[in-house]
Structure 1
Amino acid sequence: MTELIYQIDAYQKECDARVIELDSDNRGIVIDRTVFYPGGGGQPNDTGTLTCGSQVIPVTRVKKVGDFAFHYVDGDDALPAVGDPVHSSIDWERRYQLMRTHTALHVLCGVVFRDYGALVTGGDMEPLQGRMDFEFETMQKELVMEIETAVNLEIGRAHQVRVEILPRAQAFQIPDLIRTKINLLPEGIQKVRVVEIVGLDLQADGGTHVNNTSEIGRIRVTDYKSKGKINKRLYIEVGPAE
């Protein structure tokens, strides 16, 4: 089993660990604890390095399989052996940009749900840019500008962001916990990670977030498109934090 440090502390940039399994054919390394986010929910996986002795190995892809996080590495050098100590370190600048972007999308989701009752039908992100699809029948420029203004107002209110891991039964007693059109939580998951933007938004989520919306910076809606009869897409960019 891999301890997923990012689930509790998204600001931890590195950690010591030990190799517990190898996927030699695909150059995958499993360690017993990690700061790397493996990707999911529209957020890309972290990149960074694993250091074993004097060997610094670039990590380009991370994938969670069951209870284990596989770190896939570049190069032709020999992999560390099972039992070897390693030091893992993420590309912090990229991670922090993704944290700001992910929380910005949750603010967007919270505003749209609060003000218009629209559910999310899809989403994706890269550092400092993202898109989110909503169950809207129509979307015009005036509405888009209203949403952008409301989102930036909420960001500026410096809402605290809290993360909890709850038993499934307890989590599903929370009204409107699932903000997507389709419930994407597998039946077998017994612990649900809940992200709350205090006073605005509360939903199940597995990604990494900032501690306060004031860290995000202003967002700008760069485009909007119709992707179906009741599916409208908003594209955002995240500006510098003030």
Structure 2
Amino acid sequence: MSADRHGHTHRLDLADATVREWDATVVAVDPERGIVLDRSAFYPGGGGQPPDEGVLLWGGVRTRIAGTVKGDDLYLVPAEGDPVPPPGTAVRGALDDERRTALMRTHSGLHVLTGVVLRDFGAKVTGGNMEPLVARMDFDLPEVPADFRDRITEAVNAEIAADRPIEVRTLPREEAYAIPDLIRTATDLLPPDIEQVRIVDIVGLDTQADGGTHVASTAMVGRVEVVKLENKGRGFRRLRVRIM
């Protein structure tokens, strides 16, 4: 399967994270799982990033999309009680722009954070989660200095202010794995059957395998505030952050 497809759906979100509206056709409808489009910019969720929300507009009707289900196809889940367009219907898709943009800023900010922690402390990620403009990241950090939170905040925001380009490309698996520290998690979670690896590169700071959506440069993140540092035992530290 092509790297920019999921089942019958051409994934516009992988090629261009700025797409917010597009035309599509309903390919199939599963009563239990949802609606399949031939083209979609809805990010289905993964890697800690939640799925997009939005609407489908068709024949003067609006169907709210509350999430996605990934299986053999990419299924858009309609809000409970909303009408469902039948197969063959031409629709106009539209994302919740505020939510998507906030998630892109958050995701890119977390990549800056993980890049700084790896560079300055040699620590990889052990877990994480994000919502629009708030997130947590867990690191394998047995020892941290007393001023760790302030040092990380200062370093992360210095990298954001540097306005580093954020570039996305796809490489063959063997070529991708030649990149040092490509897998940022302590355990390699990349499925063994993935032949093409999507790479997100914050130029000059951080390169890692990632399937999510990102802003075009670090300056677009805004400002990252490390609001709390928690000791989760056995050397695991949890950083709770907010995007300003």
TM-score, length basis structure 1:
0.95
Q: Which amino acid aligns with 1:59?
A: I
Q: Distance in 2 between matches of 1:117 and 1:25?
A: 45
Q: Which amino acid aligns with 1:232?
A: R
Asked if 1 retains the 8 angstrom alpha-carbon contact of 2:63 and 2:83, the reply is no
Match of 1:143 among 148, 155, 159: 148
Q: Does 2:197 match 1:189?
A: no
Q: Distance in 2 between matches of 1:182 and 1:131?
A: 18
Q: Does 2:140 match 1:121?
A: no
Q: Secondary structure at the match of 1:222?
A: strand
Cα drift, residue 139 of structure 1: 3.4
- CA RMSD across the alignment: 1.2
Cα drift, residue 76 of structure 1: 2.9
Counterpart in the other structure of 2:10: 3
Q: Which amino acid aligns with 1:65?
A: G
Cα drift, residue 144 of structure 1: 1.2
Deviations 1:161-183 (A, max 9, x none): 00001121221121110010011
Q: Secondary structure at the match of 1:25?
A: coil
Q: Which amino acid aligns with 1:148?
A: T
Cα drift, residue 141 of structure 1: 4.4
1:18-33 → structure 2 map (5 Å cutoff): 18-26=25-33, 28-33=34-39
Greater Cα offset, 71-80 or 14-23: 71-80
Asked if 2 retains the 8 angstrom alpha-carbon contact of 1:50 and 1:59, the reply is yes
1:202-221 → structure 2 map (5 Å cutoff): 202-221=207-226
Asked if 1 retains the 8 angstrom alpha-carbon contact of 2:108 and 2:214, the reply is yes
Match of 1:157 among 124, 144, 162: 162
Match of 1:48 among 35, 43, 54: 54
Greater Cα offset, 203-212 or 219-228: 219-228
Asked if 2 retains the 8 angstrom alpha-carbon contact of 1:51 and 1:57, the reply is yes
Cα drift, residue 114 of structure 1: 0.6
Greater Cα offset, 196-205 or 16-25: 16-25
Q: Secondary structure at the match of 1:30?
A: strand
Identity %: 46
Q: Which amino acid aligns with 1:39?
A: G
Counterpart in the other structure of 1:65: 71
Structure 2: which 5+ runs fail to align? 1-7
Q: Secondary structure at the match of 2:88?
A: coil
Q: Secondary structure at the match of 1:11?
A: coil
The number of residue pairs the alignment matches comes to 237
Asked if 1 retains the 8 angstrom alpha-carbon contact of 2:64 and 2:82, the reply is no
Q: Which amino acid aligns with 2:48?
A: G
Q: Which amino acid aligns with 1:58?
A: R
Deviations 1:92-145 (A, max 9, x none): 011000100000000000000011110000111011111100010133540111
Asked if 2 retains the 8 angstrom alpha-carbon contact of 1:12 and 1:35, the reply is yes
TM-score, length basis structure 2:
0.94
1:68-87 → structure 2 map (5 Å cutoff): 68-87=73-92
Cα drift, residue 77 of structure 1: 4.7
Counterpart in the other structure of 1:88: 93
Q: Secondary structure at the match of 2:185?
A: coil
Distance 1:6 1:77, change over 3 A: closer
Structure 1: which 5+ runs fail to align? none
Q: Which amino acid aligns with 1:120?
A: V
